[in-house]
Structure 1
């Protein structure tokens, strides 16, 4: 594994960063309150203001606005000049950046209470925090039954990153005029419907758990695409349940991060058995070691802990080399790698190894 990070901070900076970690859950709530109560919006619209003016306009107590703004100073979301508060670039990101808001809502609505069970999850190898949302073995079994707010934040988080990949991946996938796709872990059917819109002749089959295929079938019917997209219920962890054959492309998007390396190996072997020498197997994933910006790597490392405490207890956002080893072990060769697809993804095209 390639070296990552360093220990070059001075003692003062290291101590400050340690306190940021110690108080992180408290300060997260302060940032969210500054956003949700309209304080950041007020500063954006009025350039600068004192706490009393903001409190009077928003019908909040001066005390409440003051403690939040003072927390905002240490969060570097606002700064103070001549007794008036002004919005910083970081504050603007919290207020207006779509990705930041989706990440914050995902943290609050899906993960916040669950993360109290992270240590248990590590020790027991199970998503002990999932009990805060419902009584399932994995979050995927309960996606269609999640509390409304948590469900919205979960799907907003999942779709936001994958949606950005569509314009980049479609020309690659359809470059050789494929006639059929197997969308493994197709979830709500969003990717399959995008394929059907991109090419009016392609036929697609979704493989997923019954709860997800139920949602997918409804979405597909609403879009009038039942004649071109079908769905099959399957337990993706049952290695005795083979994948259907006869597809030009087998596709997995943001899917393998939902499983352990051992489980991925079993899934890949079933993909191998379902393929012909002419089939192509595409994997679209966010690998933390292949990110262009530190913010992406940080977000992926945090997301791994969601998988630990909430999703399933044994998966993560992987280092690319971990998955390349599983690809080789399953009998594939890597035919192409396309980095920086969308915001942060890598697309890997695999073929059966010629013996």
Structure 2
């Protein structure tokens, strides 16, 4: 699949794009105010549109402040003005209501906006320099359970929006092999484990993750009445001495390996190879920016890579498929099948240890 092939544009169009880049933080903040202050929603609900004074009264804001953000909204394309009355545009409707846009928007606002200013330092050091706005942890995962609630909410909303959308399509592919014992590496909140146990009443799922994440997953599975078939294995896979347990029919990793550098991916997958029995399948669910159908999807993934650089760990990214597959092969795995276009943006790699 060929992506990111630039379309010919005029010099004027190129100059206009450059101005959007130069004022990008202003665009985001104006859109945030228009959405979070209820201005877009109020305008949308009015059939005839609203005057400046009506918008200000509805939002309980001064005329001046309302005017500057509304006029910015005109430039951004979130609202139009006809005969002194403001109306919402299609783009404004997406900013207000679209689940993907909301997940991306809140992730930018709460998790990344302040820390991304340290991107330059992170690129140079290979460390998540922007994470310092929240605390002194080596990675965001070490401090995830201690982040402010609003930050955690937006982090999980973003994470789950993309991964959960692929679960329904992935389940029949994984369970075609009728696994009885499944290892979920990077079990996170337990959503995949729960989906597996609801899909197959006989499967037993072991979640492998950091202690904080496992406590959260255990609580969620308890509330779902699924704890009896769940097992938990604490591990920090950045520690190469941390072995992967054996005896499983399937090993599953969803949006997990993109949290690691190439060398770390190879190390983890080599441990998967060592743990896998002769009939064990290794399933890897990832979003590759070069496997997307739409330019906007590739763009979102490329921008998300900067979160990994500045906030998450300083060493990983949303990978190009060829870069990631090189890690898979270097670890001693062969890819039996590749399933693209699962959910919003995902590819499922079905792997097995390469015969010696």
TM interval, shorter chain, is over 0.9
Compare relative contact order (CA 8 Å, sep 6+) and give the higher one, 1 or 2: 2
**By how many angstroms is 1:2 displaced?**
5.9
| Aligned positions, number | 355
Moved more, 302-311 or 155-164: 155-164
- Normalising by structure 2, we get a TM-score of 0.97
1:82 aligned onto 2:83: yes
**By how many angstroms is 1:59 displaced?**
2.2
Q: Quick one: structure 1 residues 95 and 117, their matched pair in 2 at CA, closer, same or farther if it must change by over 3 Å?
A: same
| Alignment-derived partner of residue 183 in structure 2 | 182
1:8 aligned onto 2:8: yes
CA shift digits 1:35-76 (9 cap, x unpaired): 111111111111312211211233221211111111011111
| Alignment-derived partner of residue 271 in structure 2 | 270
| Alignment-derived partner of residue 248 in structure 1 | 249
Residue 171 of structure 1 aligns to a residue whose secondary structure is: helix
| Alignment-derived partner of residue 235 in structure 1 | 236
| Alignment-derived partner of residue 36 in structure 2 | 36
Give 1:22-101 correspondences, 5 Å limit.
Answer: 22-47=22-47, 48-101=49-102
Residue 164 of structure 1 aligns to a residue whose secondary structure is: helix
In 2: Cα distance, 1:88 partner to 1:226 partner: 47
| Alignment-derived partner of residue 196 in structure 1 | 197
In 2: Cα distance, 1:42 partner to 1:290 partner: 38
Contact kept? 1:252, 1:282, Cα under 8 Å: yes
CA RMSD in angstroms comes to 1.3
**By how many angstroms is 1:88 displaced?**
0.8
**By how many angstroms is 1:210 displaced?**
1.2
- Normalising by structure 1, we get a TM-score of 0.97
1:334 aligned onto 2:317: no
| Alignment-derived partner of residue 146 in structure 1 | 147
**By how many angstroms is 1:161 displaced?**
1.1
In 1: Cα distance, 2:103 partner to 2:329 partner: 35
In 2: Cα distance, 1:67 partner to 1:256 partner: 44
Q: Quick one: structure 1 residues 298 and 230, their matched pair in 2 at CA, closer, same or farther if it must change by over 3 Å?
A: same
CA shift digits 1:265-295 (9 cap, x unpaired): 0000000000112110000000000011121
Contact kept? 1:69, 1:78, Cα under 8 Å: yes
**By how many angstroms is 1:225 displaced?**
2.1
| Alignment-derived partner of residue 283 in structure 2 | 282
**By how many angstroms is 1:7 displaced?**
6.5
| Alignment-derived partner of residue 160 in structure 1 | 161
Structure 2 unaligned blocks of 5 or more: none
Q: Quick one: structure 1 residues 68 and 3, their matched pair in 2 at CA, closer, same or farther if it must change by over 3 Å?
A: closer
